Amino acid sequence: MPENYLPVLFQVLIACGFAVTTLVLSVVFGRSARTNVTKDTAYECGMLPIGEGSPRFSVKFYLVAMLFVIFDIEVVFMYPWAVQFRDLTAAHGATALASMAGFAGILAIAYIYALKKGALNWKS
């Protein structure tokens, strides 16, 4: 039974050997000894690295992004319903339209709630 695991052992040894060899070669042939102040400075799209690395953003950006994703996903649910509307009305009658009207009504209530809470008001 242990002889069945011999190929797996060889593969693990080869993988570990490759990783160790690559790291050793990068240290041996790397240019870690040659440092230069100009070459060691951070480079970001041609701009000088002045200021903080990550500026602070207002939470309103994230709030609007989350609202966009939520309402965008709702459109994903509406599209297949609209494609199959004829077949749905033939099979279920007015129930198909009423169910989507209820869904759209809940979306409208959520949108009005977000407006009342000031989620889309940029000035406050």
pLDDT for 81 equals 86
Single-letter code of the amino acid located at 64: V
How confident is the model over 60-115, as pLDDT tens digits?
A: 888 888 888 888 888 888 888 889 888 888 888 888 889 889 999 998 998 899 88
pLDDT for 89 equals 84
Strand partners, 11: none
pLDDT for 118 equals 84
Residue spans of the domains in the chain: they are 2-40, 59-117
**Which residues 6+ apart lie within 8 Å of 119 measured at CB?**
60, 63, 64, 67
| Per-residue tokens: 57 | 């953003």
How confident is the model over 4-21, as pLDDT tens digits?
A: 899 999 999 999 999 999
